[in-house]
Chain A
Amino acid sequence: MSASSVTADSAGATGTDRGGKHKGPKSSIWARFDHVVVPYILVSPFFILFIAFGIFPIVYSALVSFQTYRAEQPVYPSGNSVNLYTERWVGLENYQRVLTNWDFTQALLNTLGLFIVSAIPQLFFALVLASLLNRRLRAQSLFRIGILIPYITPIVASTLVFTTFFSEQYGQANWVLGLFGVEHTSGVGAAAQEYPGIDWRAERWSAWLALVIMINWKWTGYNALLYLAAMQSIPKDVYEAAALDGAGAWRQLWSITVPMIRPMVIFTVVLSTIGSLQLFAEPVLFDEDPSSGEGGGLRHLWRTVAQLIWYTGWGDPNDFGLAGAMSWLLFVVVVALAAFNAFISNKIGGRK
């Protein structure tokens, strides 16, 4: 349009803030308002909502964590029962209770453990999958869209399907294991019977393995797309130089592609750290018996922090003070992990 002719003009006049001056004196107050105030109006919805529903809740959780905040239901002599919140400042008592109790420590170890055993294979497989996609492919779109099916499937839906896959007696996972001759005994005494596969929920390693499969089923394709995006922005002549030295496809991936997309790898590590610390749906729904209460199966083998906070606040204990203290301790861990991440990234980045 006419834009090009004016372009030269205004480029000479340097800078956006000069714009107002062209309008003449009659609109100068409006022009000032438009330049000085309107930008803040445009960005304000985000900040208002984030302060109200992002920051304030975190601060408020801190206040709650210094109180006993138990919902109690006293029954009066008349037989009426009334919901009553008793709030009382108790200082650090909640923190003391959380830290001296094995439940939180165990949940934290479960969360961190599940993060490590799921993130490493997940990012590895995502890299491999991305390099499979990073070829001249027929039906390219079909493959790229197809690997997103797990990502768009509602997490509750897919987890409930996997919960039946890992069912003890005739789940599909056990059918596959049965093909390889793996069997286990279920039932006591005369009722004992041989079934294919294993009892997934009986041991920590098998329960964790099942959860890792669910988590990685969901996120590998998504991460692969992120890697693919980064891989496609690598200049092509890098590979030309490398191939002259005789690098094969596998070596090409690890010694050229991966170092070139290191920022993206760091980005996905951060993403999966954040995601893992909030791991909730999979461990909650992995219980075959939803009424089993405290969660995480026998001995809470796979109960995560998010699940414990949920149970403490909204489950039987109904103790928001304790749940708030747990949230804040989790926050400390998040900050520590973020600092550690930044430190490692700097170190890796700096060495280059």
Chain B
Amino acid sequence: MTATAEKAPQAQPEPPKKQKAALLGRSPQDTPAGWFNYLLLSIVLFLGAWPIYWAGIMSTWKDDKIYQAGAPQVTPGPFFKFNWDIMTVNIREPGYPPYDNVRFVQSFVNSLIVVAVVVAATLFFCSLAGFAFAKLRFRGRDPLFYFVVLTLTIPAQLGIVGAYQIMDTLGWVDTLLAVTVPALVSAFGVFYMRQFIEDAIPDEIIESARVDGASTFRVFWEIVVPTVRPALGVLGLITAVNAWNEYQWALIAVGGSDAQTIGPALHNLRVGNTPKNSIVLTGSFLASLPLIVLLAVAGRQIVRGIMEGAVKA
């Protein structure tokens, strides 16, 4: 109750003050879109979806359709099973390179495992830290939080040589630990949860729970977690997308091994110096499917997460 009452004035856009000016000077949001607007947006949508649609079509054809002269193939053909069988080494065909090192199915499953662990840990650790930064008082809180924000701007690239050496020393190279452990928390997650908790939970509620004798952890479980559930959903989705799409580090740390994830698996689908692109595109399409489904199911939340995370920055 109190929470919504607190939030309402911020969330609600100000009502237009000068009603008579509304006809002349409507803000863009209140202006209905014209047909040209829809046309341009539809073209953008088409261009965005076309590469993956076409990869799906190509997963059902052989290489000759990829490189046919004239207009691109737009309808599916009969060769999906054939491509799948070659990719997963169920069959061998002359003219196709060996795909024994790809282990597509295993890589796919590995990625699912990594995503599950990374998302669960990120949600837990980031909401704990976000809660502490938003609502608890402790010495050094603000400098520590600025430090978290600062780390957002450090490219992972910089430590990649050292990170590999460390993983090597730990014996984690070519194991799932190498791609899981460093991703268990994220600066973005801490930042996002902190901003959300700060706005969503009034100090008074926490204060009164404290007065009733609740410990910090109880406040977290009984007040914070139920309130931030939508934000957890959003952060979980964005974390899942990033974890699934990991490429460079995964290529270095687990590429070609039994612990290979889907990114390096696609990389390794390009065998030899003239790869069979029907196989490459079959893998690419299948690797994109989980996220396309996720976007179709939870697109609104992903959009909201990106837009909210940005405005609060």
- Residues of chain A whose beta carbon lies under 8 Å from any beta carbon of chain B: 1-4, 6-7, 9-11, 16-17, 19-20, 22-23, 27, 30, 34-36, 38-40, 42-43, 45-47, 49-50, 52-65, 129, 131-138, 141, 143-158, 160-162, 164-165, 167, 169-172, 175, 196, 217, 221-222, 225-226, 228-244, 249, 252, 257, 264, 267, 270, 274, 277-278, 280-281, 284-285, 288-292, 305-306, 309-310, 313-314, 320, 323-324, 327-328, 330-331, 334, 338
Q: Please name all residues of chain A whose beta carbon is closer than 8 Å to the beta carbon of B157 when the two chains form the complex.
A: 277-278, 280, 305-306, 309, 327, 330
The closest CB in chain A to the CB of B159 belongs to A57
Residue from the list B204, B216, B275 in contact with A6, Cβ < 8 A: B204
The B interface is mostly helix, strand or loop, or mixed, namely helix
Shortest CB-to-CB span from A30 to chain B, Å, is: 8
A36 to B140 Cα, complex, angstroms: 12
A154 to B41 Cα, complex, angstroms: 23
Contact B47 A217 (CB under 8 A): yes
> Can you show 11 pairs from A to B with CB atoms below 8 A apart?
A16-B136, A22-B210, A42-B131, A46-B190, A57-B162, A61-B158, A146-B44, A154-B244, A175-B70, A242-B25, A327-B157
Contact B185 A235 (CB under 8 A): no
- Residues of chain B whose beta carbon lies under 8 Å from any beta carbon of chain A: 1-2, 13-14, 16-18, 21-22, 24-33, 37-38, 40-41, 44-45, 47-49, 51-52, 54-55, 66-72, 125-126, 128-129, 131-133, 135-138, 141, 144, 148, 151, 153-166, 181-182, 184-185, 187, 190, 203-208, 210-211, 213, 215-217, 220, 241, 244-245, 247-248, 251-252, 262-263, 266-267, 270-275, 277, 280-281, 283-285, 287-288, 291-292, 294-296, 299-300, 302-303, 306-308, 310-311, 313
Contact B300 A39 (CB under 8 A): no
Contact A278 B245 (CB under 8 A): no
Q: Please name all residues of chain A whose beta carbon is closer than 8 Å to the beta carbon of B181 when the two chains form the complex.
A: 49, 53
Shortest CB-to-CB span from A349 to chain B, Å, is: 15
Residue from the list B28, B37, B47, B299 in contact with A239, Cβ < 8 A: B28
Q: Please name all residues of chain A whose beta carbon is closer than 8 Å to the beta carbon of B295 when the two chains form the complex.
A: 145, 148-149, 152
Residue from the list A49, A61, A170, A172 in contact with B161, Cβ < 8 A: A61
Contact B247 A155 (CB under 8 A): yes
Contact A153 B291 (CB under 8 A): yes
Most B-side CB within 10 Å, residue of A146, A244, A288: A146
Q: Please name all residues of chain B whose beta carbon is closer than 8 Å to the beta carbon of A305 when the two chains form the complex.
A: 157
Contact B273 A3 (CB under 8 A): no
Contact A19 B247 (CB under 8 A): no
The closest CB in chain A to the CB of B150 belongs to A338
A42 to B308 Cα, complex, angstroms: 24
Using known A-B contacts A134-B29, A229-B311, determine if residue A334 contacts B37 with beta carbons closer than 8 Å: no
Contact B273 A290 (CB under 8 A): yes
Shortest CB-to-CB span from B29 to chain A, Å, is: 6
Contact B14 A143 (CB under 8 A): no
Q: Please name all residues of chain B whose beta carbon is closer than 8 Å to the beta carbon of A290 when the two chains form the complex.
A: 270-273, 275
Complex A-B, nearest 9 residue pairs according to Cβ-Cβ distance, in ascending order: A243-B25, A57-B159, A60-B162, A145-B299, A57-B162, A19-B210, A157-B284, A6-B208, A229-B307
Q: Please name all residues of chain B whose beta carbon is closer than 8 Å to the beta carbon of A175 when the two chains form the complex.
A: 69-72
A222 to B245 Cα, complex, angstroms: 15
Using known A-B contacts A46-B129, A61-B161, A164-B277, determine if residue A7 contacts B288 with beta carbons closer than 8 Å: no
Contact B306 A7 (CB under 8 A): no
Using known A-B contacts A16-B206, A164-B66, A280-B247, determine if residue A289 contacts B274 with beta carbons closer than 8 Å: yes
Using known A-B contacts A153-B288, A270-B153, A306-B157, determine if residue A53 contacts B29 with beta carbons closer than 8 Å: no
8 other contacts beyond A46-B129, A47-B144, A217-B51, with CB at 8 A cut-off? Answer: A50-B187, A58-B158, A136-B33, A156-B284, A226-B306, A274-B155, A290-B275, A327-B157
Contact A154 B287 (CB under 8 A): yes
A7 to B206 Cα, complex, angstroms: 10
A23 to B211 Cα, complex, angstroms: 7
The closest CB in chain A to the CB of B138 belongs to A39
A39 to B139 Cα, complex, angstroms: 10
Contact B129 A19 (CB under 8 A): no
Contact A135 B33 (CB under 8 A): yes
A135 to B32 Cα, complex, angstroms: 6
Contact B160 A161 (CB under 8 A): no
Shortest CB-to-CB span from B53 to chain A, Å, is: 10
Shortest CB-to-CB span from A49 to chain B, Å, is: 5
Residue from the list B161, B248, B280, B291 in contact with A327, Cβ < 8 A: B161
Contact A16 B45 (CB under 8 A): no
Using known A-B contacts A161-B281, A289-B273, determine if residue A43 contacts B30 with beta carbons closer than 8 Å: no
The closest CB in chain A to the CB of B189 belongs to A46
Q: Please name all residues of chain B whose beta carbon is closer than 8 Å to the beta carbon of A36 when the two chains form the complex.
A: 138
Contact A131 B160 (CB under 8 A): no
Using known A-B contacts A6-B211, A277-B155, A280-B248, determine if residue A132 contacts B41 with beta carbons closer than 8 Å: yes
Q: Please name all residues of chain B whose beta carbon is closer than 8 Å to the beta carbon of A309 when the two chains form the complex.
A: 157, 160-161
Q: Please name all residues of chain B whose beta carbon is closer than 8 Å to the beta carbon of A135 when the two chains form the complex.
A: 28-29, 31-33, 37
Using known A-B contacts A136-B33, A240-B27, A280-B248, determine if residue A230 contacts B311 with beta carbons closer than 8 Å: yes
Contact A147 B48 (CB under 8 A): yes
Contact B162 A45 (CB under 8 A): no
The closest CB in chain B to the CB of A135 belongs to B33
Contact B273 A19 (CB under 8 A): no
Residue from the list A53, A62, A267, A320 in contact with B182, Cβ < 8 A: A53
A141 to B25 Cα, complex, angstroms: 25
Contact A327 B25 (CB under 8 A): no
Shortest CB-to-CB span from A137 to chain B, Å, is: 5
Residue from the list B14, B126, B153 in contact with A236, Cβ < 8 A: B14
Q: Please name all residues of chain B whose beta carbon is closer than 8 Å to the beta carbon of A162 when the two chains form the complex.
A: 51
Contact B29 A232 (CB under 8 A): yes
